[in-house]
Amino acid sequence: MPVSRRAFIRVIGGGAVVVAAAGAGAAGFALTRTPTRALAPWTEAGAGETDIRRRALSYAILAPNPHNRQPWMVDLSRDGELTLYCDPDRVLPETDPFNRQITIGLGCFLELLRMAAAEEGARIDVTPFPQGHSPEGLDARPVAQVRFIEDATVSRDPLFAFVLDRRSNKEPYDLARPVTQATAARLESAVASTPALRVASSVDDVQIARLRDITWRAFVIEMETPETYLESVRLMRIGKAEIEANPDGIDLGSPMLEALNKVGLLTRESLSELGSSAWQQGLDMYRDIIGTAMGFVWIETPSNTRIDQLETGAAYLRLNLKATEIGLSMHPLSQALQEYEEMAPVYDEVSKFLRREAAGHIQMLARLGYGPDIAPSPRWPAATRIATA
């Protein structure tokens, strides 16, 4: 359940007066609350590494991924190669029981790895799931075997220039700025639709209204289902110390939020209580976020294999980078596509509404619009994602 920091301030409401009462020391406190160490991978990417695999890895870890779980783990023990695994401790068993979304995140990683290698004059040969895979979930077998090959003819990808500025913008968007059809077409141009993968978008008012409604109802289901809601709560990192200790999950890291946590007004316990005032206000706020969608983009595949999911990740990364290039905000709204029992009716509804092929599978759905500038999400350093060097 991705949540806006600004929105959480509104959840607490009048509690902010407690922080104001702290006096002059509050300003000094605020100045020290940026989780600098957790954000360092965004400014240190590519620096200080002579091994092309490690340089590429330092960019690939910045890829979008569900709940910011950063599920990648790599083995560099074979010269010129990288073996990608899914870290079993970083999956989402409640909201993503078959690891479909996690696999899409790993596809984002591989595409960004490819782009970073091309910047260094190398191409990568990727063998997905060299030891096979299961539709039921990812396991200890590798997700991909990657070979780095020097290639003077390899073309640099122009979208790589926007890697460090890419964001998943979870803030409310500007209702006074519509997304034009021409802008949506520019976004779609980042991915060539093929029989194996189709990208589509809509900025039509009627379709936007329908998708706002569907995605809102899906969010309510996730919030009202204890197992799925509490999965998100457990992954919340409140304040600088928690974020830097575990720079993954859902970061709630503004000085205001940390101060409220310190005085007991914003705690994991209070957030865990379904039906509480904070829970209800959080639900109400997210209506504002979904209700400001000014367009939608989605990705459809003809089936739902692991290969489809990896290719979806590559396509989604390209869309997110293209959105960055053209000044458009994107925010995945994945709740309606989640595959657990309570979500099934909405899942069927959104699938029938969006898919072109009767047997097609909607893999990703994201809202579009124009949001405020936001900071990047925390990341584990690349060195911590290497299982064997």
Residue 209 belongs to a domain with what CATH number?
3.40.109.10
Query: Does residue 189 lie within any of the structural domains?
Result: yes
Q: How many domains does the chain contain in total? A: 1
Spatial strand order of the sheet with 72-75 comes to: 122-128, 144-150, 81-86, 72-75, 386-388
What is the C-alpha separation between 58 and 42, in angstroms, rounded?
9
Residue 11's pLDDT is 45
Residue 386 within a domain? no
DSSP 263: T
Q: Is the dihedral angle over the CA atoms 303, 307, 312, 315 positive or is it negative?
A: negative
Segments forming the whole domain that contains residue 286: 166-235+267-369
Instruction: Examine residue 361 and state whether it is found in any structural domain, yes or no.
Output: yes
Statement: the pTM of the whole predicted model exceeds 0.85: yes
Look at residue 200 and tell me if it is in a domain. Answer: yes
Tell me how far apart the alpha carbons of residues 254 and 240 are, in angstroms, rounded to a whole number: 8
**Is 348 a domain residue?**
yes
Q: Note the pLDDT tens digit of each residue in 96-132.
A: 999 999 999 999 999 999 999 999 999 999 999 999 9
- The answer to the question of residue 225 being in a domain is yes
Report the Cα–Cα distance between both ends of the chain, in Å, rounded. 34
Give the pLDDT confidence of 358-367 residue by residue, as tens digits: 889 999 999 9
Q: Is the pLDDT of residue 10 over 80?
A: no
Q: Is the pLDDT of residue 19 over 90?
A: no
pLDDT digits (tens, 9 = 90+) for 44-100: 999 999 999 999 999 999 999 999 999 999 999 999 999 999 999 999 999 999 999
Is 210 contained in some domain? yes
Is residue 381 in some structural domain? no
